[in-house]
């Protein structure tokens, strides 16, 4: 879940950049594209106010107060959703939904937004831009699948397939932790989702699907270069992690020099419980 934590952190301090709304629109205040832009700007302004206040905070109390002033994304999401419903399948609806996919994390309006994106905008030429952000979210799966099935663009399909594989893998890790800590069944179901036969998927099910999907991406989309590099290269790295760095696998040997310049080997610590901490003093 490490990427999750980073994603959540980034979300707190950055606002997503949505594709520009249709700027040739007329200036009527009832113009939906303008209404979408207005909400975006308002939200951004609030985030900036929060960030200024947070940085200026000197005590823990002031910090907490500043944190409480962070705009609630779902409030803005609901306003966006109203525009989407009044103007279905329009560029304004698309911009509103993209904004929601990039800025919300959960809540009813977020789930609805992803559902409408899957139904109405799976063929959109810019849809791949919002997929990586949904990497660990269970709500992302139907959208990835709709894009793979309906979008005719080879590159977009490749990115969606890789995103689906990554999504299944990360959820597999999360479910493994839930299973280990004996989390309640509804929590597991929410993260894992159901297999076609109606059974709640296990961590092993998700891992198996993830492996097959990564392999599929390597076989069919080796030529696709996404925003973070070659899909096939990244899929191979993830498969390596699944095969060699998964829970239950023997840790690969680590050799090298210590900070003091002495040679150091992981296998020297056999017989001990070991915490490996990848860290930096920054």
Q: Which residues bind other proteins (CB under 8 A)?
A: 1-3, 5-6, 173, 237-238, 240-241, 245-252, 254, 256-260, 264, 266-267, 269-282
The residue with tokens 């899909």 is 231
Cβ neighbours of 23 (radius 10 Å): 8
For the bound state, the minimum distance from the C-beta of residue 240 to other proteins, rounded and expressed in Å, comes to 7
Pick 148 or 218: Cβ nearer other proteins: 218
Measured from the CB atom, the residue of 53 and 236 that comes closer to other proteins is 236
**Least CB distance to other proteins at residue 235 (A):** 12
Cα–Cα distance for residue pair 78/102, rounded to 1 Å: 14
Looking at the Cβ atoms of 143 and 218, the one nearer to other proteins is 218
In whole angstroms, the minimum distance from the beta carbon of 139 to other proteins comes to 22
Which of 37/171 has CB closer to other proteins? 171
Nearer to other proteins, 106 or 249 (CB): 249
Work out how close the CB of 183 gets to other proteins at its nearest, in angstroms, rounded to a whole number: 13
Cα distances from 35 to residues 30, 86, 93, 156, in angstroms, run 7, 12, 11, 29
Q: Which long-range contacts (CB under 8 A, 24 or more apart) does 17-22 make?
A: 17/102, 18/95, 18/98, 18/99, 18/102, 19/95, 19/98, 19/126, 19/129, 21/91, 21/92, 21/95, 22/91, 22/92, 22/95
Nearest to 80 by CA among 10, 33, 133: 33
Q: How far is the CB of 263 from other proteins (least distance, A)?
A: 10
């Amino acid at each position: 879940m490490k990427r999750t934590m980073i994603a959540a952190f980034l979300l707190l301090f950055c606002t997503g950049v949505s594709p520009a709304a249709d700027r040739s629109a007329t200036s009527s205040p009832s113009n939906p594209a303008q209404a979408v832009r207005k909400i975006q700007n308002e939200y951004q302004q609030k985030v900036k106010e929060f960030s200024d206040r947070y940085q200026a905070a000197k005590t823990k109390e002031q910090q907490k107060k500043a944190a409480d002033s962070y705009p609630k994304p779902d409030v803005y999401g609901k306003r966006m959703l109203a525009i989407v419903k009044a103007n279905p399948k329009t560029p304004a609806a698309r911009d509103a939904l993209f904004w929601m996919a990039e800025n919300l994390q959960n809540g009813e309006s977020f789930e609805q937004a992803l559902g409408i994106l899957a139904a109405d905008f799976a063929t959109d030429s810019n849809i791949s831009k919002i997929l990586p952000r949904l990497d660990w979210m269970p709500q992302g799966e139907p959208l990835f699948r709709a894009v793979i099935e309906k979008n005719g663009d080879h590159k977009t399909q490749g990115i969606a397939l890789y995103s689906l594989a990554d999504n299944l893998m990360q959820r597999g890790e999360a479910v493994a932790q839930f299973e280990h800590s004996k989390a309640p069944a509804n929590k597991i179901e929410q993260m894992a989702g159901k297999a076609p036969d109606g059974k709640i998927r296990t961590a092993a099910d998700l891992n198996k699907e993830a492996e097959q999907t990564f392999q599929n991406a390597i076989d069919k989309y080796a030529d696709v270069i996404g925003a973070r590099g070659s899909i096939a290269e990244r899929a191979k790295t993830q498969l390596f992690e699944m095969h060699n760095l998964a829970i239950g696998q023997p840790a690969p040997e680590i050799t090298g020099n210590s900070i003091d310049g002495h040679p150091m080997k992981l296998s020297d610590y056999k017989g001990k419980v070991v915490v490996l901490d990848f860290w930096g003093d920054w």
